[in-house]
Amino acid sequence: MKKTIMETLVLAALATGQAYATPISLDNATVTATYQGAADGILGLDHGFQAEAGSNSSKVHEPGAGVEFITGDFLFAFDFAADGLLTVYNNMPLPERAPGDPGYRFTFDFGSTLAAPIGSFTLLDGSMVSGTPGLSVLDGHTVALDLSALTWNGDFATLSAQIGAADTGSGDVPEPASVALMMLGAAGLAAASRRAR
């Protein structure tokens, strides 16, 4: 019974945390990317993945249009979806890194093309990698991604992350959070009843 109560508490806590992650719309957003701090290391779909002025910028395209960015060394590709989902593809084995190598660090800046500011950037699926990627929100329109600590389990492995909107402070609690809080309360009552016996 104690194990069941603890599992319920953990699930309720997870559900409550997830309920506050508001989806963000990237529809028609324009993204400007950097790779290892440089604009010339990443190539955008809108420029045919050609190295030219401004090629580190691309619009978010509809599903099936292809990835928005490929690194100049062809190691990684990035596909943004209109609902804020980012899928990262590892295209080939990574070379041995020399001491002092800056690693695999990226920024994606949406500028003023978003309907709401960015509030979260969270890992959804990292089952094809060992290690944890560095995901951070730099400001209301920019996210940073660090893949340096990852080991990719095979060529063409992927990971996915979700970009979420900032809390607007409206005070409205999403419905899933209410359900999660009720579950948490029920688990607490069950635990108290068990102790009373």
Predicted TM-score of the model (pTM)? 0.75
Sketch the domain layout of the chain as residue ranges: 1-20+168-197, 22-166
pLDDT digits (tens, 9 = 90+) for 97-140: 888 888 899 999 999 999 899 999 999 999 999 999 999 999 99
Q: Which 3 state secondary structure label does DSSP give 137?
A: strand
User: Per-residue confidence at 61, pLDDT binned at 50, 70, 90?
Assistant: confident
Instruction: Report the range of poorest mean pLDDT among 20-29, 128-137, 154-163, 182-191.
Output: 182-191
> Residues 6 or more apart from 167 whose CB is under 8 A from it?
20, 22, 119
pLDDT higher than 50, residue 2: no
Q: Which two tokens stand for residue 96?
A: 């041995």
What integer is the mean pLDDT of 156-164?
Answer: 95
pLDDT higher than 60, residue 182: no
Q: Which two tokens stand for residue 167?
A: 């809390």
67 half-sphere exposure, CB direction, 13 A CA radius: 20
User: Per-residue confidence at 63, pLDDT binned at 50, 70, 90?
Assistant: confident
Q: Which 3 state secondary structure label does DSSP give 30?
A: strand
Residue that the structure tokens 């945390």 belong to? 17
